[in-house]
Chain A
Amino acid sequence: RKEVEQDPGPFNVPEGATVAFNCTYSNSASQSFFWYRQDCRKEPKLLMSVYSSGNEDGRFTAQLNRASQYISLLIRDSKLSDSATYLCVVPYNTDKLIFGTGTRLQVFP
């Protein structure tokens, strides 16, 4: 299994749709997980941290399944401004972050 694996997409969805992204990881020792958002040619920006089974922040819900080494991100009521690449990020060792290749989301009117 790859260190961090994501479906690259793109996911093309209409405004208002619900969309889910999946991520699998290989390091069973990882305790925390992150979703970052990256706009084209910009820096990664933290979207959510996941420390236990899941986390919810407004329209965004992250879920963690440690047994399956799987993390998901659900976006409800998609907005045009949600169009970006979503990066699944997993720490390896104490402070090294391993990034997935990202899943590209395009929300259309």
Chain B
Amino acid sequence: EPEVTQTPSHQVTQMGQEVILRCVPISNHLYFYWYRQILGQKVEFLVSFYNNEISEKSEIFDDQFSVERPDGSNFTLKIRSTKLEDSAMYFCASSERDGGNQPQHFGDGTRLSIL
């Protein structure tokens, strides 16, 4: 069964550094998403991406964050000037059509630890 893959599985970074989290969505999917989950809390929407542009973003997704689809397969989340509170599990997801009516399929996540 096709799946969403994410790398790395765990990223440890010093506060203030930049990180790039990588995702390969399912190949025939057109909609891509990033979510995060702080330990012990619920999954939170960050951003959705379709047709090479952001279609929606949450209040969390401020100027510190950016997304890119640099080629035909990868989808990346960049976090600049990382803060301690950015420590969380980051999940990438994709859906065949708009994820309001089609299920979104999640990768197994990148655990980001900011020191």
- B76 contacts A by Cβ under 8 Å: no
Q: 1/0 per residue A18-44: CB within 8 Å of B?
A: 000000000000111010001001111
Chain A residues with a Cβ closer than 8 Å to the other chain, count = 26
- What's the Cα separation between A96 and B44 when bound, in Å? 10
Find chain A residues with CB under 8 A from B48 CB.
Answer: 95-96
- What's the Cα separation between A32 and B103 when bound, in Å? 9
Interface segment, A9-17, A59-67, A74-82, A86-94?
A86-94
CB-CB nearest in chain B for A38: B43
Q: Name which of B41, B55, B103 has the most chain A CB atoms within 10 A of its CB.
A: B103
Find chain B residues with CB under 8 A from A42 CB.
Answer: 108-109
A29 to chain B, nearest CB (A): 10
Chain B residues with a Cβ closer than 8 Å to the other chain, count = 27
Known: A94-B55, A94-B56, A98-B45. A43 touches B107 (CB 8 A): yes
Contact of A95 among B31, B89, B109 (CB under 8 A): B31
Find chain A residues with CB under 8 A from B100 CB.
Answer: 30-32, 91-96
Find chain A residues with CB under 8 A from B95 CB.
Answer: 95
Contact of B101 among A31, A43, A87, A101 (CB under 8 A): A31
- What's the Cα separation between A90 and B101 when bound, in Å? 10
- What's the Cα separation between A98 and B48 when bound, in Å? 13
CB-CB nearest in chain B for A32: B101
- B75 contacts A by Cβ under 8 Å: no
